[in-house]
Structures are given as C-alpha cells and as structure tokens.
Amino acid sequence: MVSFQGYFEGGKFFPMEAVTIPDRKRTIVTVLDEEITNTKHAAAWRKFLEEIATSDEEIPTHFDRVSFNREVDL
C-alpha cells in the first residue's frame, strides 16, 4: 500500500509530487481537517497551462536545448 499527499481544488486532486497509480487498484481517500494554504505555485502553473491551451499561436514541437548555468553576452 502507498499513500500520496495532495489537495482537492475545484473537484480535482493535485498531488504534492508526481505520482503514477495503476489502473483498477482499490483506493481509499481520506480528507483531513487541515487546509493547504500554500498553493500559489500550483495556481500559477494551472494559469500558465490554461493560457497555453487557449492561445492561438502555434506551439513548436521541438525546442532548442538551453543551459541556464552558462554565461552569455547580450
């Protein structure tokens, strides 16, 4: 048996880490009395993904590799 921490918002479960749950496994959902208040990053990611989904711009299928650790001249 394994447990995942996360929170519900808008009828959806958002895990605190990436999880994979195999199909057709019996599950138990326990709702705690503790409220999660630090969902700022999750909300920002949801807004970002929604904006991409509603954009009329073409999304490239390939992006050039980027290294944020190297210095560049601008």
2-21: buried (b, 16+ CB within 10 Å) or exposed (e) per residue?
A: eeeeebeeeeeeeeeeeeee
In this prediction the pTM is 0.44
What is the identity of the amino acid at 59?
Answer: I
Q: According to the model, what pLDDT value does residue 38 have?
A: 65
Q: According to the model, what pLDDT value does residue 39 have?
A: 66
The rounded percent of the chain whose pLDDT value lies above 70 is 95
Q: According to the model, what pLDDT value does residue 26 have?
A: 92
Please give the average per-residue pLDDT across 49-58, as a whole number.
86
Q: According to the model, what pLDDT value does residue 43 have?
A: 75
- Spatial separation of the C-alpha atoms in residues 50 and 44, rounded to whole Å: 10
